[in-house]
Amino acid sequence: MFFDYIYLGDRLTNSRLKNLSCDAIRRKDGKCIRGRNGNMLVIFENKEKCVILARRLKKIKYDTSYRIVYLANKRG
């Protein structure tokens, strides 16, 4: 599974969540679920859902052609 972000955390972040891959939980129209104050709802690679500060996320850049092939194969 591909994850879109790495959560960097800060000094108050639980150490088990720092530098963990995560993906934004999206609405039906494909947009991320964001709060008014810059929070984002994400799901981590260990299947844990959290509301975190979006400024502490680092976007992972993949080769898009590989991702398209992966998604096409996954759908069958």
Please check whether residue 4 is in contact with residue 21, taking contact to mean a CB–CB distance below 8 angstroms: no
**Predicted model pTM:** 0.71
Measured CA to CA, the distance from residue 50 to residue 72 in angstroms comes to 29
Bridge partners (DSSP) listed for residue 52:
40
Measured CA to CA, the distance from residue 31 to residue 25 in angstroms comes to 8
pLDDT in tens, the chain (76 residues): 578 888 998 888 888 888 888 999 999 998 999 998 999 999 998 899 999 999 999 888 766 555 555 555 555 4
Measured CA to CA, the distance from residue 55 to residue 13 in angstroms comes to 13
